[in-house]
Structure 1
Amino acid sequence: MSLETHTVRLPEFVDDRPVGRFQYGVIGLCGLVMFLDGFDTQAISYAAPHIAKEWGLTSAVLGPVFSSALVGLMIGYLALSPLSDRFGHRRMIIVATAAFAVCTLGAVWAGGVEELMVLRFLTGLGLRAAAPSCVALTGEFSPKRLRATFVLVIYCGFSLGFVVAGLVAGWLIPAHGWRSVFWVGALLPLALVPLLVLFLPESPVHLIRRGADRERIAGVFRRIDPSLPGEPAFAAPAEDTGRRAALSSLFTRHRVLGTALLWFVFAINLGEFYALQSWLPTMLTDLGHAMSTVVAATTLTTVGGIAAAFVTGPAMDRLGAYRTLGVFYLAGAVFVAATGLAFGAPLWLLMTANFLAGCAISGGQKSLIALAAVFYPASIRSTGVGWALGIGRVGGILGPIVVGGALAAQWSARGIFLAMAVPVLAAGLAVLFLHRRYAEEAPT
């Protein structure tokens, strides 16, 4: 075959080669963006009590600030993630990172609730415009055999951002005030932007679809394999949908059932996650546990999610993404129910059950994002992941409301957790149905 007729095809080019330093660099940069995303998302929670005290407000008055951020997150997922498939993942990541950094910096000089609410809304837009693009770009530079693992790795960066935000807030706020946390949350992503400009590549699929200069495309491929010969032609994945609007591609006759089931599972998982994060401290406090126990138990849910990723990621790649996650959710239903039964048990048993429930709920969320990255082809991956997270946010809003209603109706903590196990069971069955319908047709 002559050099001129040699064709480089995606995703086979990435799938057939070992993961190199360049790809690890891409994944590392996406992981850093996700880490800062998590830090900025959580920072307001630690700053809020101090803002209320300085401005002479009740904590309830800051409710709209949290709500505005959630609205921004949802719109960012639904409205902005499709732009990544249109304008390129690299450009979206850079612009979104700079945007949420600037808006976070603006919060340093906020003088009132209305101003802070607008800034948090805009910050939410930037935060959630970046995440689906990071997932999509990571998936594109990962071989199929490791795709779920690498997506889980960068999403662990998001959870680590949550944890570090608490550590930094505990260190800085007493000495330097609440604004210091926003300084850190703004300056770190601003410092990352030049590195993204210099070292983050554009999506090869996007370049091929948009008819970019052949040398520019070849430059990306040669950073993966310097031995790439001559002046090859380039072919996008067979399922590429460049001529179809990315959003409508989620609802093709072949894909509509899978999209609907993914949204269903995302809504369940996010509903469970936010219900757990919102009400577990209250439940434990009402049962007379010390604050140190409450903090430790709540933190264990995040730690459990990170720990689970080290198991589910490789299992999804080796044993199949659908089967692994389906079985994981079925086990998770048992763990959530066991947490309810453990409320009257010795503390060590309650902590163990809570850790395992965190593995199922927080770890399940990360694994579900990896499943979405497997389900959708590269050409619509950002849109597919973004819309699944956006629609799932409806569950995240309803979950705490439903549990709050159950508490108001005098449900016990044990009864609530036993009830929460049922939707997790339904999620497991839905994923196993996806396995039966789509596992043999997993896109590239």
Structure 2
Amino acid sequence: MSTEIGALERIHQEPMKVGQWYIVAICIGILALDGYDVLAIAFAAPGMTAEWGLSKAVLGIILPAELVGMALGSIIMGALADSKGRRPTMLLGLVILTVGMGIAGVAPNIYVLGAARVFTGIGIGGLLAAATATSSDYCNNKNRSLAVVLVAGGFAFGVYLGATFLAPLLKEYDWRVTFYLGAVLSLLFIPLVYALVPETITYLERKRPEGALEKIQNIMRRLGHSIPTALLPIEEKKVEPVGVKSLFKNNLAIVTSILIFAYFANIATYYYFVKWLPTIVSDLGHSASEATKVLGIISLGGVFGSIGMGIVARFVSIRILMVVSLICAAIGVAGFPYFTETLTSMKQIGFFTGAFVFAAISGFFGLFAASFPSSLLGSGSGLVLGIGRGGAVLGPMIPGFLFAAGMALESVALIMAAGSFLAGLTVLFLKKQRI
């Protein structure tokens, strides 16, 4: 029997090289783009409402429009990442993102804007699944949990940078600048991914397209790792089934179901909080620029929370960390209405809540990497993200109808905080499957 060590095993066992950290950094940037894009509609909401005279009920439908596309994109493009490759899926997602943001910026009415947001969401869904799988594949065993959580933390970083740059821009320009900036940023990432992010070793070893060995050798040489002389024989590799059906076989069925429910429930709370917050702050008598600054502080807390999750996860079970984060996020969301007297008090409670809300979002990506085998990571994370987008749609939509019905902010916040609380209880039943 051959004693040849495969390329993937070499990457997982050997120290990480600079080229691998470049890949991780680009994946962090891609998630930052996702964070910016998803919250772009929240940044633009006060200006849109003023220009087009939107009601709370209509706004509640428009705010999650791109999430419909994300649900479709996460499932279809997540599976595409496993069957056709993570790199082309990532490039396609960036092209869709760029085009969708550009159309949203020139939209003449709410209908065109809504269609553009749905289209954009398809690209975001593919980017989430592909970036997560790529960063995991190119990390060694020692740094994988840290890197994957940091990549997910890029989402909070994108929201923070967006709020930081948009606050002054919204003083000079109208709400459309939000989408113009997003289109330019996503366009800049296309050549970066094309030049610096190779196809994953997992895909090349499993699918074995023409010239697979040469491609793997070139990647390993470029990254500075030892180069395999041959592909492992199929019969000597641990062959893992690929496809959505495999996620519901044997022990994976329980894991997949738990992750779907927990992510769905938490994402409803998360999207209520971040999508409605600028409008809530504006309704309290503050300007759109000031509302954006409050969201910026929340996302700054999210940056610290996401980084903290990545660091602490190296020493503490990520399952326990997730339970704590989810419960604290629920407490912060439910308590926010009681700290709205001043901008300062909103920023303080916002920073606390943002730290745990975004830590939980990042932590889910760590749970994906720890729960699904490598060959199913794209499909598994894509399925959970895709179905979870149902919660992302309901999160902003339900409050729209509750507000329109005259329900007080305190009651709406308590109802919407229940999602994270239930998610925390559910994650307690998630058994550790793999490191």
**Length-normalised TM-score, structure 1:** 0.83
Distance 1:110 1:327, change over 3 A: closer
Shift in Å at residue 173 of structure 1? 5.2
Could you tell me which residue of structure 1 aligns to residue 395 of structure 2?
399
Per the TM alignment, residue 271 of structure 1 is displaced from its structure 2 partner at its CA by 1.0
Contact 2:302–2:354 (Cα < 8 Å) also in 1: yes
CA distance 1:90–1:425, shift in 2 (3 Å): same
- For residues 89-115 of structure 1, the C-alpha deviation after alignment (integer angstroms, 9 at most, x for no partner) is 001001211222133334455444443
SS at match of 2:251: coil
Higher relative contact order (CA 8 A, sep 6+): 2
Contact 1:240 1:377 in 2 (8 A): no
Aligned counterpart, 2:385: 389
Write the deviation string for residues 380-403 of structure 1: whole angstroms up to 9, x where unpaired: 111211221121122222234444
Following TM superposition, by how much is the alpha carbon of 1:18 offset from its aligned partner in structure 2, in angstroms? 1.6
| Cα distance between partner residues in 1 of 2:256 and 2:384 | 8
Q: Provide the secondary structure at the position in 1 that maps to 2:145.
A: helix
Matched-pair contact (CA < 8 Å) for 1:7–1:235: no
Counterpart position of 2:215: 216
> 1:80 aligns to what?
77
User: Structure 1 pair 405/363, CA: closer, same or farther in 2 (3 Å)?
Assistant: same
Q: Equivalences for 1:86-165 in 2 at 5 Å?
A: 86-165=83-162
The verdict on how the C-alpha distance between 1:14 and 1:356 changes in structure 2, with shifts beyond 3 A counting, is same
4, 27, 34: which is aligned to 2:31?
A: 34
Question: For the residues of structure 2 that align with 1:289 and 1:115, how far apart are their CA atoms?
Answer: 30
CA distance in 2, matches of 1:283, 1:390: 28
Q: Is the 8 A contact 2:258 2:426 kept in 1?
A: yes
Question: Residues 38 and 159 of structure 1 are in contact (CA less than 8 Å); yes or no, is this contact kept in structure 2?
Answer: yes
CA spacing shift, 1:122–1:218, aligned 2, 3 Å: same
Structure 2 distance, partners of 1:16, 1:409, is: 58
> Equivalents in 1 of 2:328, 2:174: separation in Å?
43
CA contact (8 A) 1:68 1:117 kept: yes
Q: Does the CA-based 8 Å contact 1:304-1:363 persist in structure 2?
A: no
Task: Quote the offset at 1:150 in angstroms.
Answer: 1.3
Where structure 2 has 5 or more consecutive residues not aligned to the other structure, the ranges are: none
Once the 2 structures are TM-superposed, how far is the Cα of residue 30 of structure 1 from its aligned partner?
Answer: 1.5
- When the two structures are superposed, what TM-score results if normalisation uses the length of structure 2? 0.85
1:233 alignment counterpart: 231
Q: 2:54 aligns with which of 53, 56, 59?
A: 59
Query: Identity over aligned residues, as a percent?
Result: 26
CA–CA separation in structure 1 for the residues paired with 2:368 and 2:278: 31
**Does the C-alpha gap of structure 1 residues 9 and 321 become closer, same or farther in structure 2, counting only changes over 3 Å?**
farther
Residues 266-345 of structure 1 aligned to structure 2 (within 5 Å): 266-280=263-277, 296-336=293-333, 339=336, 342-343=338-339
Equivalent pair of 2:36/2:162 in contact (CA under 8 Å) = yes
The separation in 2 between residues aligned to 1:98 and 1:420, in whole angstroms, is 34
RMSD of equivalent CA atoms: 3.4
Alpha-carbon separation, structure 1, partners of 2:40 and 2:351:
23
- Measure how far apart 1:261 and its partner are: 0.6
Q: Which has the larger radius of gyration?
A: 1
Say if 1:161 and 1:281 are closer, same or farther in 2 by CA, change over 3 A: closer
**Structure 1 pair 207–358 and aligned structure 2 pair: CA distance change class (3 A):** same
Alpha-carbon separation, structure 2, partners of 1:163 and 1:139: 24
